[in-house]
Structure 1
Amino acid sequence: MKNQKLSDQVSAKIRQDILDGKYKAGEKIPAEPELMKVYEVGRSSIREAIKSLAMAGILKVRQGSGTFVNEVLPEENMAEKLRVADFDEINAVRKLLEEEIVRLAVENHTQAELEEIEKHLTLRKLAIIAEDRPACTNADIAFHLAIANASHNKVLASLYQNFTHTIRTFFSKREAQGIGHFAMSHHLHAELLHAIKTKRKKQAQELIRNILDHNY
């Protein structure tokens, strides 16, 4: 957040308060002096935040009346939807996404992309040996993201990138389990790379389903 403008931070907080129901659709939000106290910032940051939210269609400024939450809010962006989604919902969509990603990676990968996938698989194994859970998480996510890039479908790769924060959050909730689930699933990840390398599409898709069915 340090590199983020103060007004952007305030904008994000107001947006979240609207989503949480603190400020309801159609209702007037507090005047600037009160907002300055609530968010502990100056008047200019409040004004910039309100201007940004008005341009996004979340707030509506009525001259002489104040600022109101729009009756019909714009569609939440993908990152916000993922943030509040149930993990089972996330995993169901991730399965569909990764099966297609793996299918395309089998068809479209280059040698350089295979080497990138293999690099992260090796880092994953080294992290397991070192019992370094954060490194396991980073290597696992990078492994799957490298496969997404090997699909040569920028939209799918971008969608998968949006999932990585949610996946990381899920792994952090299982921190007490240590590196056990990473170790148990490593052979499946190695087999997945081999299936992609040898262009065994059906086997690759079965492996990714197995990985995700067990929340690996």
Structure 2
Amino acid sequence: MLMATKLSERLISRIKEDIGSGKYPPGSKIPSEPELMLLYGVGRSSIREAIKALALAGILKVQQGSGTFVMEHTATESIEQRLGRADFDEINAVRTLLEKELVRLAVQNYTPELLLEMERSLENRKIAIQAEDREACANADIDFHMAIAHASGNSVLADLYKSFTLMIRDFFAKREPGGIVNFALSHHLHEQLFLAIKSRKAKAAQQALQEILDNNY
């Protein structure tokens, strides 16, 4: 029997583990409520609460009259796998929301060490532009934005943003050969963003970031 304490959370974790292990494969129908009650040693209300939560999370799908099924793409996927199925417009929309919040927090919370990290990444970006090294530009650009993410002081947001860097890096890689020009054209905006963060000028930082995002730099 599961402990009464945090019963629903324990049950949800157990079901997710069984989905992840392949006991209930994507697309398959999970056992009926009475069977689940016996399998997990809990009451009907706990089963229903867990199924409701897993359905809201996009892991299960309840079909009236047919039963409850495991979604083809479940929440047991890594964030990288889920992002791999998204198109760039979706990625960029979430990136925009994340970056705006990260910049807002970075203005308030950056430390001297993280400010130095931003400055170094920005300098590496400039050097890569002068060397016309597009891969180095992409790497330095991502390092700069990751430094901002770390400066936000919110490790959860920073980790989430890190997951987006793979998709952003892929976007840079697929740009046409002239893509180095985009890095050069946007460098002054990145410098403005850095200086605004350094000066703790929230409005100016958001304005510089918006120009970067508007032009997909």
Q: Normalising to structure 2: TM-score of the pair?
A: 0.68
The equivalent of 1:57 in structure 2 is: 20
The equivalent of 1:187 in structure 2 is: 188
1:134 maps to 2:132: no
Which secondary structure does the structure 1 equivalent of 2:177 belong to?
Answer: helix
Unaligned runs of 5+ in 1: 1-53, 62-66
1:199 maps to 2:157: no
- Code of the residue aligned with 2:22 in structure 1: it is L
The equivalent of 2:209 in structure 1 is: 208
CA distance, structure 2, for counterparts of residue 103 and residue 169 of structure 1: 26
CA distance, structure 2, for counterparts of residue 68 and residue 206 of structure 1: 44
The equivalent of 1:91 in structure 2 is: 92
- Code of the residue aligned with 1:120 in structure 2: it is S
- Code of the residue aligned with 1:102 in structure 2: it is V
Note the C-alpha offset of 1:69: 5.6
The equivalent of 1:18 in structure 2 is: none
Note the C-alpha offset of 1:55: 4.4
The number of residues matched between the two structures is 159
The equivalent of 2:106 in structure 1 is: 105
- Code of the residue aligned with 1:122 in structure 2: it is E
CA distance, structure 1, for counterparts of residue 26 and residue 86 of structure 2: 27
* Mapping of residues 165-176 of structure 1, within 5 Å: 165-176=166-177
Aligned sequence identity (%): 55
CA distance, structure 1, for counterparts of residue 205 and residue 211 of structure 2: 10
1:70 maps to 2:28: yes
Q: Normalising to structure 1: TM-score of the pair?
A: 0.69
- Code of the residue aligned with 2:141 in structure 1: it is D
The equivalent of 2:36 in structure 1 is: none
CA distance, structure 1, for counterparts of residue 159 and residue 19 of structure 2: 22
Which secondary structure does the structure 2 equivalent of 1:176 belong to?
Answer: coil
Which secondary structure does the structure 1 equivalent of 2:23 belong to?
Answer: strand
Deviation digits for residues 176-211 of structure 1 (CA, Å, limit 9, x no counterpart): 224110000000000000000000001111211110
